[in-house]
Homo-oligomer: A and B are copies of this chain.
Amino acid sequence: MLETFPNPHPQRDYLIEHEVHEFTSMCPITGQPDFATISIRYVAAAKCVELKSLKLYLQGYRNKGIFYEDVTNVILNDLVAACGPKWMQVVSHWTVRGGIHSVITVEHGKNPLA
């Protein structure tokens, strides 16, 4: 489902960031909707993530029941499988539930720019 296109400047390590404001999934226990902003940062190797397929991929969670910690790791795993980046980070910022605001940060590989 996630599509890619060839990195147009593969000879240079550079940072690509996509912040998706309108992510929604569901709580696996209560069935209540959850809302988050998903931030994706990566240094591409041969392939870049195509934005329209990324949007559709993330829309696929709209009616899926899944925990905060789990979905953040799964998105990272799927993106890494699709585009094989040198380094990738996924951060999910969740809206307040019961007075608690949660953020999950996961990484794959070592950032060559750090």
CB within 8 Å of B: which residues of A? 7-9, 12, 14-22, 24, 32-33, 35, 48, 51-52, 54-55, 59, 62-63, 67, 69-70, 72-73, 95-107, 113
Contact = CB atoms under 8 A, between A and B. Distances in A.
Max count, chain B CB within 10 A of own CB: residue among A24, A48, A59, A100: A100
Assembly of this chain: how many copies? Answer: 10
Contacts of A33: 22, 24, 59, 62
B99 A69 contact: no
Given A62-B33, A69-B8, A20 B100 contact: yes
B103 A12 contact: no
A8 B95 CA distance: 21
Contacts of A69: 7-9, 14, 16, 48
